[in-house]
Structure 1
Amino acid sequence: MWNIEQFVADCRTAVNRDDTHRSVAEVVDRAMRDPAGVTRSLGEPTESGIFPIYKSSDLTIVNVVWKPGMTLMPHNHEMWAVIGIYGGREDNIFWRRVADDPEGRIEAAGALALSTGQCTPLGKDLIHSVTNPIPKLTGAIHVYGGDFFEAERSEWDPESLTEHAFDMDKVRALFED
């Protein structure tokens, strides 16, 4: 049976063995093979939010619960990530910087829909936006290769697609509204 303490220990071991996303991706993939077990261990999501599970300088694990219809503006992490969906769906649009744009604009470069039981790695330099397109809460485990809450990174205005400093307080407010 899946449990959060063992998951954290397995992620910690994976990062100690390999500081890229590859080993952690295997751990998250194993967990997503039992999404019902993850839900039992974490509890059925009842509200949206960013719920820290583990945090260190080289590893952060977060339970992210997206409210129905929620969209998070394009942003980067400045570290690798592995995302696993244990309930619901998360749609990602991937973005790339527009060459030689003085305002740091971005343009769409691809997309990926993740559903219950699926996971994907995200590279250190990836820019993405996220939407929960379904009428129920979506639960996801996000594992980051660094201190997610302290990293300096960027977000992009959803209308003008211009770059600005990432504002964690603004993001938390989106989850609370």
Structure 2
Amino acid sequence: MFDLDRFREACCLAAAGGEAQQATRELLARALEDTPGMLEALGEPRRAGIQTLHRSAELTILNVVWGPRMILMPHNHNMWAVIGIYTGREDNILWRRVPNVPAGRIEAHGATDLGQGDVLPLDRDVIHSVTNPLDRLTGAIHIYGGDFFAVTRSEWDPERLEERPYNVERNLQLFEESNRLSAARH
């Protein structure tokens, strides 16, 4: 049975050792083998939002619940990450910087879809955008190799794809807007 406290402890130990991202990826993949236990420990997703499960200078573990049809603009983390889906689906567009173009413009260069039980490692320099393509909530565990909330990073304007400083508050508001839209539909 999935035990959240043991999972946090194991991730902290993995983050302190060598090959932290790979070790954390393996821990998350094993945890996702017990989706019912994970849902019992975390609770069935009821609304879009971000729940901090662990936060330190070395490691952040988040329970991210994407609202129906929710989209998060292109952004980077400036640290490695591991994402695992415990319910629903998450589609990622992968982006890269366009060389010799001012304003830090980016272009799409790949995509990947994640369903229940899937795990995706992201290197520290990856830029991605996220979409929940479903008409229901998607739940994911996101693990970061550092303090997710304290690192300076970037996001890209969705229309012009120009780089700007990441705005935590604006992005958290997207979750609340998703909740408002879902409430209005029901």
Alignment correspondent of 2:87: 87
Alignment correspondent of 2:69: 69
Alignment correspondent of 2:18: 18
Alignment correspondent of 1:48: 48
Counterpart of 2:119, as a letter, is C
1:25-71 CA-partner distances (Å, limit 9, x unpaired): 11111111112211111000001001100000010000000000000
After TM superposition, the runs of 4+ consecutive aligned structure 1 residues lying more than 4 A away are none
Alignment correspondent of 1:161: 161
Secondary structure of the corresponding residue to residue 175 of structure 1 = helix
| Whole-angstrom distance in 1 between the partners of 2:23 and 2:166 | 28
* TM-score after normalising by structure 1: 0.98
Alignment correspondent of 2:113: 113
Alignment correspondent of 2:129: 129
- Report how far residue 19 of structure 1 moved: 5.4
Alignment correspondent of 1:35: 35
Secondary structure of the corresponding residue to residue 111 of structure 2 = strand
The percent identity for this pair of structures is: 53
| Whole-angstrom distance in 2 between the partners of 1:158 and 1:173 | 16
Alignment correspondent of 2:4: 4
| Whole-angstrom distance in 2 between the partners of 1:3 and 1:89 | 23
Alignment correspondent of 1:98: 98
Decide which structure has greater helix share. 2
| Whole-angstrom distance in 1 between the partners of 2:8 and 2:27 | 10
CA RMSD of aligned residues (A): 0.7
Counterpart of 1:144, as a letter, is Y
| Whole-angstrom distance in 1 between the partners of 2:26 and 2:62 | 17
- Report how far residue 18 of structure 1 moved: 2.0
Counterpart of 1:7, as a letter, is F
| Whole-angstrom distance in 2 between the partners of 1:18 and 1:2 | 25
| Whole-angstrom distance in 2 between the partners of 1:97 and 1:84 | 25
- Unpaired stretches in structure 1, ≥5 consecutive residues: none
Alignment correspondent of 2:148: 148
| Whole-angstrom distance in 1 between the partners of 2:37 and 2:20 | 26
Contact 2:14-2:20 within 8 A present in 1 as well: no
* TM-score after normalising by structure 2: 0.94
Secondary structure of the corresponding residue to residue 103 of structure 1 = helix
1:64-94 CA-partner distances (Å, limit 9, x unpaired): 0000000000000000000000000000000
| Whole-angstrom distance in 2 between the partners of 1:51 and 1:40 | 15
- Unpaired stretches in structure 2, ≥5 consecutive residues: 178-186
- Seen in structure 2, the aligned counterparts of structure 1 residues 66 and 103 have a Cα distance that, compared at 3 Å, is same
Counterpart of 1:75, as a letter, is H
Contact 1:20-1:80 within 8 A present in 2 as well: no
